Amino acid sequence: MTGLLLTAGCDLEAILEVDIPGKVDAESLSDPTLASVLVNSVVGDVECAWSNYAAAASHHSDEWIPTSGNLNMREWGQRKMDPQALSGGVLATGSCSSNYGVYTPLQTGRFQNNDVFDKLAEFDAGDVPGKAQMQGRVRVYGGWALIALGEGFCSMALDGGPEMQPNQVLEVAVQNFSEAISGAGDATLVTGSYAGRARAKLYMGDWSGAITDAQQIPEGFKFGADRAGDLDIRQNYLHRWLNDTNDGISKHGSVADHFRDLTVNDAGELTQNDGMPDPRVPVRTIGNQAFDFSTIHYFTDKYTSRGDPAPFASWEGAQLIIAEASAQMGDVATAVGIINALRAKSGLPEWAAGASASQSDVIDAVLAERSRELFVEQAWRFNDMLRYRGSAHQISFLGEPGSIHPNGLDQTGAEYGTVTCWELPLVETNGNENINR
């Protein structure tokens, strides 16, 4: 009764007129003094989305075995994220701070890239110093959002348009990166654009174009999403959900058996527990149980905190793009030379058999080298598994013949699903009038 009396004595309209601190109305977004704020919002959106995507892609690949006691995360590890499953819903509508919200954060970053680019175009150049560079900056990050949307999903739709195949999405990414290269100005962003464009061209089979762009990446280059451990949306999600040994509920995957104790023998053959330890795949355990309380948790020292950057691209990644594209074009000598050069940097033996290896063997060698050089980095393993699906170079998903779990069951006896690429979520197929299913 007291509540009713209080309500009766109040001005209801005054209660509803709440001033939300930090709220920016739409009209204010047309203020050129907010240009840098708009650009930074694009960067923040895409960095968080990429961190989620890279973690989800690694978890879904064969780099980790499923060890979660949480249904959603268990289904990620067991390849059961169909659009109607619980994890499929998170995949579609989860936020940047949820466990692997992917689709909505990536689409948000991509849309923001276009929206802010157009807003900047409306501003007078005299009112926005560095306007062209700002437009180039948002294009860089928009391009990387498109890389993830094109690579990870079986098909895609942009802005309510028709269903697109991966190569069509990646063509839009190429356009974004090309605009960034022309306008970004900042050397790191321009180089990051060349790296993204090379990756897109590799996926599309433009071997010579991929090589030309990847050759623009200087040795030592790294481009990553800045992360921090203080806020959920700023965390490195691969470390947060898979790798962190200090959190009793975060060990949702354990590094898969075939990525443990990796070595290289005297002949330069990639081995396991037979030869020189491969420092590129630093995996160990302290004997803790993972979140399923039945599997020992193995983790990697590539990430040691939730504030570690989430890499987009690197010189090593660019070199392996050149190696793969060269091998695909029949230039196996260049590919083998890159493999040996990368090994030399890590103090590992050269691949002796590479001098007489066939084109097919060299392509396999490049993929194997990338699995070590870029282990749990940049979503490359997932990329390779999807690109070579159904080919002579196929990399089996866990649960499939040829994997470490060939009978369809994980290490606990639980059944794997059949998801490879991620299906276009129901939130898109049900709400997009241009898609008929």
Q: How far is CA 99 from the centre of its chain?
A: 14
**Do 410 and 66 contact (CB within 8 A), yes or no?**
yes
Query: Which runs of E-coded beta strand occur in 51-111?
Result: 64-66
Strands (E), 308-422: 310-314
Please check the confidence at residue 18 and state whether its pLDDT lies above 60. Answer: no
Question: Rounded distance, CA 310 to CA 312, Å?
Answer: 7
* 295-81-44 Cα angle (round to 5): 95
Calculate the CA 310 to chain-centre distance.
9
Residue partners of 230: CB distance under 8 A and separation at least 6: none
pLDDT more than 90, % of the chain: 80
DSSP category for residue 305: S
Task: Quick: pLDDT tens for 102-138.
Answer: 999 999 999 999 999 999 999 998 899 999 999 999 9
- Tell me the sheet residues that pair with 271: 263
Tell me the average pLDDT across 353-382: 98
pLDDT over 80 (residue 4): no
Mean of the pLDDT values across residues 287-300? Answer: 95
Pairing between β-strand 253-255 and β-strand 270-272 as defined by DSSP bridges: unpaired
CA triple 117-200-303, angle to 5 deg: 90
Please calculate the CA angle 373-240-39 and round it to the nearest 5 degrees: 85
Distance CA 158, CA 48 (A): 20
- Residue 429 tokens read as 């197929």
Structure tokens of 421?
A: 């690429």
Banded pLDDT at 83 (limits 50, 70, 90): confident
Mean predicted confidence (pLDDT) in 338-356: 98
What is the predicted pLDDT for the residue at 117?
A: 96
Confidence check: pLDDT of 218 > 50: yes
pLDDT for 55-82, tens place per residue? 999 999 999 999 998 888 899 999 998 7
Average of pLDDT values for 197-225?
A: 98
- Which residues are within 8 A (CB) of 273 and not within 5 positions of it... i.e. 6 or more apart? 261, 263
Note the pLDDT of residue 29. Answer: 62
Summarize the chain as % helix, strand, coil (round to 5): 50, 10, 40
8 Å CB contact between 189 and 138 = no
pLDDT tens-place string over residues 398-426: 999 999 999 999 999 999 999 999 999 88
User: Average per-residue pLDDT in the chain?
Assistant: 91
**pLDDT confidence tier of residue 97, bands split at 50, 70 and 90:** confident
Query: What was the pLDDT predicted at 84?
Result: 66
- The pTM (predicted TM-score) of the whole model is 0.91
Rounded distance between C-alpha atoms, residue 328 and residue 387, angstroms? 13
Q: Pairing state of beta strands 262-264 and 276-277?
A: antiparallel
- The two tokens of residue 25 are 């109305």
* Residue 11 pLDDT grade (very low, low, confident, very high; cuts 50, 70, 90): very low
